[in-house]
A and B are shown apart, each in its own frame.
Chain A
Amino acid sequence: MQPHPTTGSPRPDDGSAALDHVRNMVSACIQCGTCTGSCPNTLEMDLTPRKMWRLVIMGRLADVMASRTFILCSDCYTCTLRCPRGLPLTEAMETLKGIAFARHEARHRSSRLFYEKFMHTVRRHGRLREMAFMTGYFTAMKSPLAPLRFAPLGMKLMGKGKVEMGFGKSAATPLGALFDKVADIERTAAAPLEKESHA
């Protein structure tokens, strides 16, 4: 693996090793911009996807992490489908989200908490329990205004009986053992799981 001088000395969780992984995923990028032209969210991004891949290839982790581009990926897979090099770009975006969350980047705190609380609920119950998830999310946000954005929708859904409150409707299947085993494997594995390419 190539050294990347601009990111400085790596700490275990600063994302440098993971960025190398993303760099391998996009290293064949020819900077054609098909991804940028295909992305439904480009106009809201501060860096176009094409520019961001360039920064990834150059190992400029700090610049990548300072961007909102990867957080605005909505997993539509249009870029992955159209990339003339066949690169797994949506997966690369996903991995960048994971790096930002692991680094506890302040600007991505809200998204990170949304994802983390979601997975916390799944770990405890096996299935998503909206009530437990949203309560956990709002509590972690520590913002009295956070629930207001979702309140009208929440009331509408509850009125229709469409919120899983967890009152015995489905038995819980705790998945702690599976989550812990995955964490164990990832701690001991030297290399991340090999990605399959999308034909």
Chain B
Amino acid sequence: MNYLYYPGCSLTASAREYDLATRALMTAVGANLTEIDGWTCCGASAAAPISQLLSLSLSARNLALAEQTAAGGQVLVPCSACYLNLKKAHEALRNNAASRTTINDALAAVNLNATGSVRVRHLLDMLAVDLGAAGLAPLVTRSLSGLSVAPYYGCQCLRPYREFDDPERPVSMEPLIEATGAAVHVWEMGGRCCGASLVSTQPEAGLKRVCAILKAARGADLIVTVCPMCQMNLDAWQAKASRMAGEDLSITVLYLPQLLGLAMGLDSGELGLDLNLAVLDGFREKIAK
């Protein structure tokens, strides 16, 4: 399994543990990651309102670099916002000749050209489809039985593109969680919005989304996520959400590769567990046994 790796900005800073855990897990499952040399920001959710073409061009720049490394390769993206942006650029390059011409007109300014030959894949897609529970199960050395895990998918790895899961009732994490020995927390919030950047720009609206998710996770030992924005909204703003809800909503929140890595016996330092903002003592005790 060979992948061109696009970490994205968050994974170099606020989501460093997601990067550490992804790399550690990929090594442990025998997948080979080649980081795209000279990658730059995908434009996040900020570029598109200012300019659709800028958003597409920023993402296409990274696809062009990926094509230079391995035409026909697969780009692995852990961040859902980056994934969606790269995916949009890929679709525009492949399916819209006018867009392809305009984007490459822009990319000429930085001496690059993109055709859309590389495939863009979310980390969850790779874990659920390429690795799968069948590939994971033999690698599990430490059963996580006794843990109840709430799978949180968020939005942009599911919608608008239907790639590897049901866009409204996602299930792709469940076999992976079960393969670790843990139980799946049954809830309706897996594919509901975390509030995204509204938590920063319109907190009175954004925090309500966070509260609803944290409340529904009650009874689970932890939530797992596959997106730095979801993770930050659910862990960093827990105290604020608790104040808004008038009740304690504290819960452990891990990235999915951290959970899978723990089950495979990887070291918690290697998985960046000390960098997480919400790891409760009760959870640490459960996994220490």
Contact = CB atoms under 8 A, between A and B. Distances in A.
A65 to B, nearest CB: 14
What are the 6 closest A-B residue pairs judged by CB atoms, nearest first? A181-B109, A77-B159, A76-B193, A97-B49, A128-B9, A164-B13
B188 to A, nearest CB: 12
A156 B239 CA distance: 12
A127 B48 contact: no
Interface of B: 9-10, 12-16, 38, 40-41, 43-54, 56-58, 61, 88, 91-92, 95-96, 98-99, 102, 105-110, 155-156, 159-161, 167-168, 192-193, 195-198, 200-206, 208-209, 236-237, 274-275, 277
A62 to B, nearest CB: 19
Nearest to A102: B50
Query: Which among A41, A72, A95, A97 has the highest number of chain B CB atoms within 10 Å?
Result: A41
A81 B200 contact: no
20 contacts: A40-B209, A41-B193, A44-B208, A75-B155, A78-B168, A80-B160, A81-B167, A98-B49, A111-B201, A127-B41, A157-B236, A162-B13, A175-B110, A177-B109, A178-B107, A178-B109, A180-B109, A182-B54, A186-B53, A194-B99
B107 to A, nearest CB: 7
B201 A76 contact: no
Contacts, number: 177
B57 A182 contact: yes
Contacts of B107: 178
Nearest to B52: A193
A153 to B, nearest CB: 5
Contacts of B105: 181, 185
A11 interface: no
B245 to A, nearest CB: 16
Interface of A: 40-41, 44, 71-72, 74-78, 80-81, 90-91, 94-95, 97-98, 101, 110-111, 114-116, 118-119, 122, 126-128, 130, 149-150, 153, 156-157, 160-164, 169-170, 173, 175, 177-183, 185-186, 189, 192-196, 198
A49 to B, nearest CB: 14
Given A128-B10, A157-B14, A169-B12, 10 more contacts: A44-B204, A77-B155, A95-B49, A111-B201, A116-B50, A119-B50, A122-B43, A130-B14, A182-B51, A192-B52
Contacts of B88: 196
A108 to B, nearest CB: 10
Given A74-B198, A149-B203, A156-B236, A164 B193 contact: no
Query: Which among A76, A97, A156 has the highest number of chain B CB atoms within 10 Å?
Result: A76
Nearest to A81: B159
B46 A115 contact: yes
A153 B13 CA distance: 13
Nearest to A195: B52
A116 B46 CA distance: 7
B206 A74 contact: yes
Contacts of B10: 128
A173 B201 contact: no
Contact of B156 (A77, A157, A178, A189): A77
A187 B10 CA distance: 32
Given A119-B47, A127-B40, A193 B58 contact: no
Nearest to A68: B202
A183 B40 CA distance: 19
Contacts of B15: 162
B53 A182 contact: yes
Contacts of A111: 201-202
Contacts of A198: 160-161
Contacts of B53: 182, 185-186, 193
Given A78-B193, A163-B13, A181-B108, A193 B102 contact: yes
A184 to B, nearest CB: 9
Contacts of B156: 75, 77
Contacts of B92: 196
A128 B41 contact: yes
A44 B205 contact: yes
Nearest to B109: A181
B83 to A, nearest CB: 13
A173 B65 CA distance: 13
